A and B are shown apart, each in its own frame.
Chain A
Amino acid sequence: KAGVTQTPRYLIKTRGQQVTLSCSPISGHRSVSWYQQTPGQGLQFLFEYFSETQRNKGNFPGRFSGRQFSNSRSEMNVSTLELGDSALYLCASSSGTSGRQRETQYFGPGTRLLVL
């Protein structure tokens, strides 16, 4: 089985712009979670989707949004980019209804976003 894929892998944007990141989960996985990773804060949970419904959301401003499509692929969007949004954005999928259950989460390689 192919792993979790994320596109693009690298992205450079300027402040004020918006960005959309894409994630394709492992075939058959319907739960997708997004995380932000920075050197200072480490990993932080953004949101989780199952069957096109957002199940959980982390403590991020409304500029961060996401959605999941009927084929389980997911996108996240960040509007009005700030310098502090520079980070590695990771997507993970699992076979259960939630990545918080005992099923293993499988992470993609991430999208590295640099905001100038």
Chain B
Amino acid sequence: KNQVEQSPQSLIILEGKNCTLQCNYTVSPFSNLRWYKQDTGRGPVSLTIMTFSENTKSNGRYTATLDADTKQSSLHITASQLSDSASYICVVIEPSGGGADGLTFGKGTHLIIQP
């Protein structure tokens, strides 16, 4: 069964510090890997989308990396702000026709930024 494991489950850091969230997956092959940010009580917001051939993708202070050989992705947040407090979800999507489901979600990392 395809799996996406995210670590840590939760993380508390001080405002202004950097942090890195991890996503390990077993899905193979895959079409693209996505990182989402979800604020409490809101729908997820897309941060990055990477295909299997891309190594890195940035969106402002957010930088995602992908190592398809080791089946690992990470999301690095630079100079954290209070507004970064949220859950971060990793999703791995199979190619079209990859089955009835084809999307495997991680359980997310709950990030808290303290002033």
Closest Cβ neighbor of B42 among chain A residues: A109
- Interface residue tally of chain B, by bracket? 20 to 34
Are the CB atoms of A105 and B105 closer together than 8 Å?
no
B106: which A residues are within 8 A, CB to CB? 42
Are the CB atoms of A59 and B101 closer together than 8 Å?
yes
Bound form: Cα–Cα A110–B38 in Å? 12
A104 within 8 A of B: yes
B76 within 8 A of A: no
Contact residues, A61-116 vs B (CB, 8 A): 90, 92, 98, 100-102, 104-110
Question: With A43-B105, A102-B32 as given contacts, are A56 and B100 in contact (CB-CB < 8 Å)?
Answer: yes
A32 within 8 A of B: no
Are the CB atoms of A42 and B100 closer together than 8 Å?
no
Q: Which of A58, A104, A110 contacts B101 (CB 8 A)?
A: A58
- Over the window 41-56 of chain A, the binary record of Cβ atoms lying under 8 Å from chain B Cβ atoms (1 yes, 0 no) is 0111100000000001
